[in-house]
């Protein structure tokens, strides 16, 4: 048994890289759900963004253009979700389900017709990817060089989003209104602020963050888009959001944990060395989901969602 | 007082939603440089153009009837069961276990045994999310999604580690023994002297699905349980007042829902593959959502919608063979159907409602 | 005075919801610095009119003048800009925000919160002192009482510099003492020159505090009079449109043996708050026991316990048989089997499935009854339809169509369906909560007669109502509840509104 093997630098490095898309998607969900719009379509939005960013980065050779394209793809789906759940007061869960399928199908259909490579985009060249940034003095081994340094700009950007989200939510007028509209939209409406406007703005922010998360998958974590490359990350982010009780700093904690589990499942040998027992990979794969169920069951503190979540706003006296 | 005649609500709105979905799908095909009219022709020819084609269409429809009914029953109790995929997968595990390890003498007894086990396994996989919803208020949508992933990991483990025959490379069980093989439509219709394609996978499970439709109809609209289930779905507070136990309704509706999803394994695992493979459900659990929405949660509607999706699914497969349109086009169409019939319902409904109120006012004014 | 410019003038306001005309050609002038009452029955269109004034609904026709200026109010923002503040019947507060956060919401001074909060804190202190509003700016809404929540709503309006304040049924949730506090605040506001519109259906409040009163009936404004020049009887007639019988015809009760005995009944809710603190009461055969009290003092919990869907401790017997108090989720079924029928306080939330047809609703709660079963498996839908048709004609439900969904009936006819279902069960004990809330006058009289007829058949009736007049005219004995306790009991023939009002405010029955 070697407990410290759990802190293997390669695993920690993997944690940072794998937690980043989860963190971005989780914060995306946070904005949407804090405004009272449930979003189980995070997965679909990330997937659409991953595809379009991969496709544009491959054709232009420019990662930044890829990023913008990814955000645009995600935004289109966000607006559809907004139309369904805000304007037409439809069922937000069903809309999310539809968006996930839509992205899962369309990305492959378009990828096949565009690149004829069996539903994937060509591998990205050097300029088409976000490359690791090596920090000053990070040329040796050790925590600083291997874990802190050596990630793409998107990773550091995602981390910055955590304090930024906190600040927006709790220190600005917009954040106050956003939280209010998710708790009691009538309070916002009678105060003369547009419920629809606020909710659309939240859905748009959600789209932008999901877009970055998807673009990260195709242009930073990997070099191109492959079919179904989100692999349930949108759902894990959703789980992390519940785990985090819809709070930004907790979201960082939850996504880091889930990212760590993912990193560990890539290295079963390390886990075996650490705890002395062989753990099935499938168990590690399922662990985030099992943890979420345990959390939802209320065995680890109660998660209370925003009170108006999932309910379309209808004016009443 | 109703804003619209009933027929408009149950026929016109789904129809318009379908046309919208079809129109957008056609646009997608145009965008990728294919001819939607030609594609439609291939799909129809490939899905209903021969008894072989029908055999596949009905086979898929059988899957979708089970998963569609599963979603519909839960919907009546206002439970959104997205876990059909995992429940159907677990049903498959149950079927594989009884077919492999019980020495059946004849397919008819094997069918009864497998039906019971498939339903039990499906119900069991729905039981934990149902219990957590009933007792701890954990949102059923999230927990059933999680259980889909857990099921996938579990089956992956079983097929890779325990159920795979020694020495085999592919993660799948051994072929089920001969006495468990179900008669297919060729055998059944043969008794009556009607010719039907031998190669098509449609089998006796279709009759089981039709029986399930009828039983679900009786359950929902003719029994006390159905009465209480719908009452709970409409108003939980009123159900409490009437002494209808929320725990009981949530559990029972989800168990029935899970059992129906589990029964799908009779068709795809026992009837068609005759062994358990990875990802045997192939998204049918999710298509059940579209089928239930499209069929307005009514067993007869589910039957029609399942047929439609059977056509789409089989037609889509033919399309993928004949053109460069990949099979995922079906997923796009499915998504659009869910979007229009489920989430954007009001977009279709609002203009129709005002149209009908204008139409109604006119004859009154003429008086 | 007459050539003074009105603070608000409405001209020819009309508004329809589908086939229902909620407001018909309404014109009204409200003078500045006055308290103007608007009175009318439920559904007379008062709230709709005020919602139009606050920009919540758009009028189909008509004009609005604020201080003589023609103003259009497309949304709440415009209403706030025009100096209108509104205190809704159901407060529009964010439960997990502080008082201060609720007050600045939508009226922040800039994109950052801190300066707004600091400014609001000092303004709040001034306002609080000026109008006796004493609220704690840092308290979280869900932790404070309804009285203080209402003062937060008033502060919200004042913080937005409202000159015109509309209050919709403000005393419904208040104790008489809190209501007095509210009226003192309103008088302070009037003294400062604010204009106040008070919407209520309580004649007493109109007489007590308003300067002018407008009466609404069936969507129309039937009269506007000076309060000093009118009387409660005249207003009641204007409201209803005909002479009102102030007293219900009934013979003295002939009470028999004890049917229900309640001893030391205690209820603690999910949040750990004790809602019933040891209730004792008896109801005898052939009498109506009325429970008076301001809403939220434990009456609902008492009904729920007896109806079988809330857990409690203590001892309750019906005809000498103990009632199960630590009861599971199907408790309602057990109570019905013992002979307890229940007309719940909220028919739309509890008594009916609004999407069910009338014939399905007639079996609701009695769906296990053998008369509705065809065999062991199936229900007898035909029997349910026949039963519905019979009850509809006996109770004059309109339209008498068993296939119509409950939501398509008017409030009065919905209530008749519930009352018919429960009374025709011929129960030993009838629990009936707010029997005539949101019900038109004709149906009220009908329902009252049926209740008395059941009493005269020797049945026990527990009546809960927040309408003191209804309690006083229907009950044989009256018990007053306050804060989960019984403050005292009186014979209906030997008490008066003043005495009961003091008890409702928490004065002990012995000293009141």
C116/A187 Cβ within 8 A: no
- pLDDT: which is higher, B72 or C496: B72
Please report the DSSP string for C338-389 in residue order: HTEEEE-S-IIIII--TTSBHHHHTTTT-TT-GGGBSSSSBB-HHHHHHHHH
> Is B324 within 8 Å of chain A by CB?
yes
pLDDT of residue C243: 53
Q: Which residues of B touch C308 (CB under 8 A)?
A: 243
Task: Give residue-wise pLDDT tens across range C341-350.
Answer: 999 999 999 9
> Of all residues in chain B, what percent carry a pLDDT higher than 90?
72
pLDDT of residue A1: 61
Q: Length of chain B in residues, anyone?
A: 367
> Is A188 within 8 Å of chain C by CB?
yes
Within 8 A by CB and 6+ apart from C79, the residues are A192, C53, C54, C55, C73, C86
pLDDT of residue C480: 93
Q: What is the ipTM of this complex?
A: 0.91
First and final CA of chain B: distance in angstroms?
19
Task: Determine the average pLDDT of the residues in A158-180.
Answer: 97
Compare CB distances from B153 to A40, A112, A285 and report the shortest one's residue: A285
Q: Which residues of A touch B153 (CB under 8 A)?
A: 282-283, 285-286, 289
Span of A42-46, A105-109, B198-202 with lowest mean pLDDT: B198-202
Within 8 A by CB and 6+ apart from A211, the residues are A45, A49, A53, A67, A70, A71, A72, A73, A74, A75
Mean pLDDT of chain C, nearest integer: 90
pLDDT of residue C509: 57
Task: Give residue-wise pLDDT tens across range C301-317.
Answer: 999 999 999 999 999 99
3 state SS of C38:
strand
Task: Determine the average pLDDT of the residues in C466-479.
Answer: 89
Please report the DSSP string for C76-138 in residue order: HHHHHHTTEEEE-SS----TTSBHHHHHHTT--SSSBHHHHHHHHHHHHHHHHHHHT----TT
Q: For residue B132, give the chain A residue with the closest CA.
A: A297
A296/B286 Cβ within 8 A: no
C307, C342 contact by CB (below 8 A) = yes
> Is C421 within 8 Å of chain B by CB?
no
pLDDT of residue C314: 96
Q: Fill in the DSSP letter of residue A124.
A: P
A80: left (phi over 0), alpha (psi -120 to 50) or beta: alpha
- pLDDT: which is higher, C422 or C271: C422
pLDDT of residue C372: 96
Q: Which residues of C touch B218 (CB under 8 A)?
A: 378
pLDDT of residue C491: 93
First and final CA of chain A: distance in angstroms?
66
CA distance B72 to chain A (A): 14
C93/A187 Cβ within 8 A: yes
Interface mutation vs chain A, best among B78, B89, B344, most A CBs within 10 Å: B344
> Is A235 within 8 Å of chain B by CB?
yes
> Is B231 within 8 Å of chain C by CB?
yes
Task: Determine the average pLDDT of the residues in C91-106.
Answer: 94
pLDDT of residue B362: 62
Interface mutation vs chain A, best among C106, C169, C348, most A CBs within 10 Å: C106
Compare CB distances from C379 to B222, B241, B245 and report the shortest one's residue: B222
In Å, how far from its chain's centre is CA C55? 24
The beta strands (E) that lie in chain A are given as: none
> Is B327 within 8 Å of chain C by CB?
no
The HSE-up count of residue A159 (CA atoms within 13 Å, CB side) is 11
pLDDT of residue A127: 83
Which residue, among C79, C194, C85, has the nearest Cα to C150 in the 3D structure?
C85
Compare CB distances from B243 to C332, C363, C378 and report the shortest one's residue: C332
The model's confidence at residue A208, banded by pLDDT at 50, 70 and 90, is very high
Task: Give residue-wise pLDDT tens across range B301-330.
Answer: 999 999 999 999 999 999 999 988 888 998
- For tokens 């492999």, the residue is B100
Between CA C96 and CA C67 the distance in angstroms is 37
> Is A141 within 8 Å of chain B by CB?
no
B82/A292 Cβ within 8 A: no
Q: Fill in the DSSP letter of residue C312.
A: -
Task: Give residue-wise pLDDT tens across range B332-367.
Answer: 998 998 899 888 888 888 888 888 878 876 654 443
Task: Give residue-wise pLDDT tens across range C359-397.
Answer: 999 999 999 999 999 999 999 999 999 999 999 999 999
3 state SS of A232:
coil
Which residue, among B172, B222, B217, B170, has the nearest Cα to B73 in the 3D structure?
B217
Span of A31-45, A118-132, B253-267, C251-265 with lowest mean pLDDT: A118-132
CA distance C313 to chain B (A): 19
CA distance A181 to chain B (A): 21
> Is A176 within 8 Å of chain C by CB?
yes
Whether pLDDT at B149 is above 80: yes
Burial C484-502 (b: 16+ CB within 10 A, else e): bbbbbbbebeebeeebbbb
CA distance C51 to chain A (A): 7
pLDDT of residue A275: 79
> Is B149 within 8 Å of chain A by CB?
yes
List subunits contacting chain A, requiring 3 or more Cβ pairs under 8 Å: B, C
Q: Which residues of B touch C379 (CB under 8 A)?
A: 222-224, 227
Q: Which residues of A touch C120 (CB under 8 A)?
A: none
pLDDT of residue A301: 60
Which residue, among A241, A226, A232, has the nearest Cα to A24 in the 3D structure?
A241
> Is B66 within 8 Å of chain A by CB?
no
pLDDT of residue C1: 45
The model's confidence at residue C447, banded by pLDDT at 50, 70 and 90, is very high
The model's confidence at residue B70, banded by pLDDT at 50, 70 and 90, is very high
What's the angle, vertex CA B113, arms to CA B108 and CA B116, rounded to 5?
125
A 32-91 near C (Cβ less than 8 A): none
Residue C228 burial (CB count, 10 A): 9
Q: For residue C46, give the chain A residue with the closest CA.
A: A317
How far CA C209 is from CA of C132, C146, C204, C256, in Å, comes to 17, 21, 9, 45
Whether pLDDT at B87 is above 90: yes
Indicate the burial class of A118 (C-beta count within 10 angstroms; 0-12, 13-18, 19 or more): exposed
CA distance C148 to chain A (A): 17
Between CA B39 and CA B325 the distance in angstroms is 9
pLDDT of residue B366: 40
Q: Which residues of C touch B224 (CB under 8 A)?
A: 367-368, 373, 379
The beta strands (E) that lie in A99-228 are given as: none
The two three-digit tokens of residue C364, written as one number: 């609701």
Q: Omega of the bond prior to C399 within 30 degrees of 0, cis? A: yes
> Is B243 within 8 Å of chain C by CB?
yes
Compare CB distances from B234 to C335, C351, C353 and report the shortest one's residue: C353
B3/C18 Cβ within 8 A: yes
Interface mutation vs chain C, best among A169, A192, A198, A247, most C CBs within 10 Å: A192
Q: Which residues of C touch A306 (CB under 8 A)?
A: none
Tally C-beta pairs within 8 A across A and C: 79
C299, C481 contact by CB (below 8 A) = yes
Task: Determine the average pLDDT of the residues in C34-50.
Answer: 86
B 104-143 near A (Cβ less than 8 A): 128-129, 132, 136-139, 141-143
A 80-109 near B (Cβ less than 8 A): 80, 83-85, 88-95, 97-102, 104-106, 108-109
A293/B146 Cβ within 8 A: yes
Q: Which residues of B touch C350 (CB under 8 A)?
A: 235, 237-238, 240-241
Span of A38-42, A71-75, A120-124, A269-273 with lowest mean pLDDT: A269-273
Compare CB distances from A176 to C54, C93, C105 and report the shortest one's residue: C105
> Is B45 within 8 Å of chain C by CB?
no
In Å, how far from its chain's centre is CA A293? 19
Whether pLDDT at C18 is above 90: no
Q: Fill in the DSSP letter of residue C219.
A: T
Task: Determine the average pLDDT of the residues in A229-252.
Answer: 92
């Amino acid at each position: 048994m070697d407990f410290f093997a759990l802190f293997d630098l390669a695993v920690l490095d993997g944690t940072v890289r794998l937690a980043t898309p989860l963190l971005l998607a989780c914060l995306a969900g946070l904005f949407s759900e804090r405004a009272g719009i449930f979003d189980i379509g995070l997965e679909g939005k990330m997937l659409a963004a991953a595809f379009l960013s991969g496709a544009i980065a491959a054709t232009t050779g420019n990662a930044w253009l890829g990023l913008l394209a990814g955000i645009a793809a995600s935004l289109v789906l966000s607006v559809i979700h907004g139309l369904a759940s805000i304007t037409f007061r439809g069922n937000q869960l069903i809309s999310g389900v539809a968006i996930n399928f839509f992205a899962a199908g369309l990305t492959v259909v378009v990828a096949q017709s565009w690149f004829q490579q069996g539903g994937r985009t060509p591998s990205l060249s050097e300029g088409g990817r976000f490359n690791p940034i090596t920090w000053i003095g990070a040329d040796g081994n050790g925590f600083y060089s291997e874990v802190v340094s050596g990630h793409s700009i998107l990773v550091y950007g995602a981390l910055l989003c955590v304090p930024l989200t906190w600040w927006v939510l709790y220190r600005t007028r917009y954040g106050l209104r956003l939280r209010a509209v998710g708790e009691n939209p009538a309070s916002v409406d009678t105060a003369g602020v547009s419920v629809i406007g606020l909710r659309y703005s939240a859905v748009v922010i959600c789209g932008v963050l999901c877009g970055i998360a998807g673009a990260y998958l195709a242009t930073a974590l990997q070099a191109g888009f492959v079919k179904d490359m989100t692999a349930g990350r949108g759902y894990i982010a959703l789980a992390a959001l519940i785990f985090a009780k819809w709070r930004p700093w907790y979201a960082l904690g939850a996504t880091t944990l889930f990212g760590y589990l993912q990193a560990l499942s890539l290295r079963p040998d390390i886990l075996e060395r650490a705890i002395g027992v062989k753990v099935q990979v499938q168990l590690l794969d399922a662990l985030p989901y099992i943890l979420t169920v345990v959390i939802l069951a209320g065995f680890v503190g109660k998660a209370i969602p925003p009170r108006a979540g999932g309910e379309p706003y209808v004016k009443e006296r | 007082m109703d804003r619209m005649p009933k027929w408009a609500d149950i026929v016109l709105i789904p129809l318009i939603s379908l046309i919208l979905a079809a129109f957008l799908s056609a646009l997608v095909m145009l965008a990728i440089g294919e001819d939607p009219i030609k594609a439609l022709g291939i799909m129809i020819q490939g899905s209903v153009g021969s008894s072989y084609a029908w055999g596949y269409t009905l086979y898929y429809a059988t899957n979708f009837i089970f998963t569609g009914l599963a979603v519909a029953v839960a919907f009546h109790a206002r439970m959104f069961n997205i876990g059909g995929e995992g429940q159907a997968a677990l049903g498959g595990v149950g079927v594989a276990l009884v077919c492999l390890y019980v020495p059946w003498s004849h397919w008819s007894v094997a069918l009864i045994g497998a039906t019971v086990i498939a339903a039990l396994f499906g119900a069991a996989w729905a039981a934990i999310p149902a219990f957590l919803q009933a007792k701890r208020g954990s949102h059923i949508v999230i927990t059933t999604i999680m259980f889909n992933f857990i099921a996938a990991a579990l089956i992956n483990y079983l097929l890779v580690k325990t159920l795979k025959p020694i020495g085999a490379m592919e993660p799948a069980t051994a072929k089920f023994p001969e006495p468990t093989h179900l008669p297919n439509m060729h055998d059944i219709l043969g008794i009556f002297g009607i010719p039907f394609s031998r190669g098509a996978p449609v089998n006796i499970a279709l009759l089981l699905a039709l029986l399930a439709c009828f039983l679900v109809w009786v359950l929902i609209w003719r029994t006390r349980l159905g009465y209480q289930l719908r009452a709970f779905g409409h108003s939980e507070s009123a159900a409490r007042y009437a002494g209808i136990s929320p725990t009981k309704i949530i559990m029972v509706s989800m168990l029935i829902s899970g059992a129906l999803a589990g029964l799908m394994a009779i068709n795809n695992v026992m009837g068609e593959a005759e062994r358990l493979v990875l990802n045997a459900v192939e998204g049918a659990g999710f298509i059940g959502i579209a089928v239930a929405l499209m069929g307005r949660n009514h067993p007869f509607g589910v039957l029609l919608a399942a047929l439609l999706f059977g056509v789409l699914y089989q037609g889509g497969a033919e399309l993928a063979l004949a053109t460069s349109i990949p099979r995922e086009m079906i997923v796009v169409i499915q998504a659009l159907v869910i979007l229009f019939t489920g989430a954007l319902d009001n977009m279709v409904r609002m203009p129709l409602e005002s149209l009908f109120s204008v139409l109604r006012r006119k004859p009154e004014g003429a008086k | 005075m007459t050539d003074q410019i009105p603070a608000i003038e409405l001209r020819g306001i009309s508004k329809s919801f589908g086939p229902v005309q909620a407001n018909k050609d309404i014109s009204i002038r409200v003078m500045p610095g006055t308290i103007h009452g608007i009175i009318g029955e439920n559904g007379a269109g008062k709230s709709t009119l005020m919602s139009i004034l606050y920009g919540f609904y758009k009028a189909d026709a008509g004009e609005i003048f604020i201080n003589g200026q023609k103003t259009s109010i497309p949304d709440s923002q415009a209403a706030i800009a025009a100096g209108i503040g509104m205190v809704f019947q159901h407060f529009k507060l964010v439960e997990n925000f502080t008082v201060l956060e609720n007050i600045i919401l939508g009226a922040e001074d800039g994109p950052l919160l801190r300066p707004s909060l600091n400014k609001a804190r000092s303004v709040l202190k001034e306002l609080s002192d000026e109008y006796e509003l004493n609220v704690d700016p840092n308290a979280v809404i869900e932790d404070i009482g309804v009285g203080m929540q209402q003062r937060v709503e008033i502060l919200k309006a004042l913080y937005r510099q409202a000159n015109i304040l509309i209050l919709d049924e403000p005393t419904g949730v208040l104790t008489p003492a809190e209501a007095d506090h509210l009226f003192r605040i309103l008088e302070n506001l009037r003294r400062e020159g604010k204009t106040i519109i008070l919407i209520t259906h309580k004649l007493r409040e109109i007489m007590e505090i308003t300067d002018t009163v407008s009466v609404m009936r069936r969507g129309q404004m039937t009269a506007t009079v000076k309060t000093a020049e009118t009387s409660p009887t005249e207003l009641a007639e204007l409201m209803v449109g005909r002479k009102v019988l102030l007293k219900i015809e009934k013979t003295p009760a002939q009470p028999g043996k004890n049917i229900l005995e309640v001893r030391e009944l205690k209820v603690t809710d999910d949040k750990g708050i004790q809602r019933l603190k040891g209730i004792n009461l008896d109801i005898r055969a052939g009498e109506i026991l009325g429970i008076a009290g301001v809403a939220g003092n434990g009456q609902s919990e008492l009904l729920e316990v007896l109806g079988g869907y809330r857990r409690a401790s203590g001892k309750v017997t019906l005809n000498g048989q103990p009632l199960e108090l630590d009861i599971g989720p199907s408790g309602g079924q057990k109570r019905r089997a013992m002979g307890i029928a229940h007309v719940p306080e909220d028919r739309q939330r509890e008594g009916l499935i609004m999407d069910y047809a009338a014939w399905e609703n007639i079996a609701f709660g009695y769906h296990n009854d053998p008369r509705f079963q065809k065999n062991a498996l199936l229900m007898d839908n035909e029997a349910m339809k026949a039963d519905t048709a019979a009850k509809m004609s006996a109770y004059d439900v309109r339209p008498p169509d068993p296939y119509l969904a409950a939501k398509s009936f008017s409030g009065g006819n919905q209530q008749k369906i519930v009352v018919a279902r429960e009374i025709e069960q011929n129960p030993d004990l009838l629990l009936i909560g707010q029997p005539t809330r949101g019900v038109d006058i004709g149906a009220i009289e009908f329902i009252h007669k049926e209740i008395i007829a059941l009493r005269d058949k020797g049945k026990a009736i527990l009546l809960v109502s927040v309408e003191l007049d209804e309690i006083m005219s229907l009950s044989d004995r009256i018990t007053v509840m306050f804060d989960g306790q019984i403050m005292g009991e009186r014979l209906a023939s030997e008490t008066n509104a003043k005495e009961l009002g003091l008890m409702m405010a928490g004065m002990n029955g012995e000293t009141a």
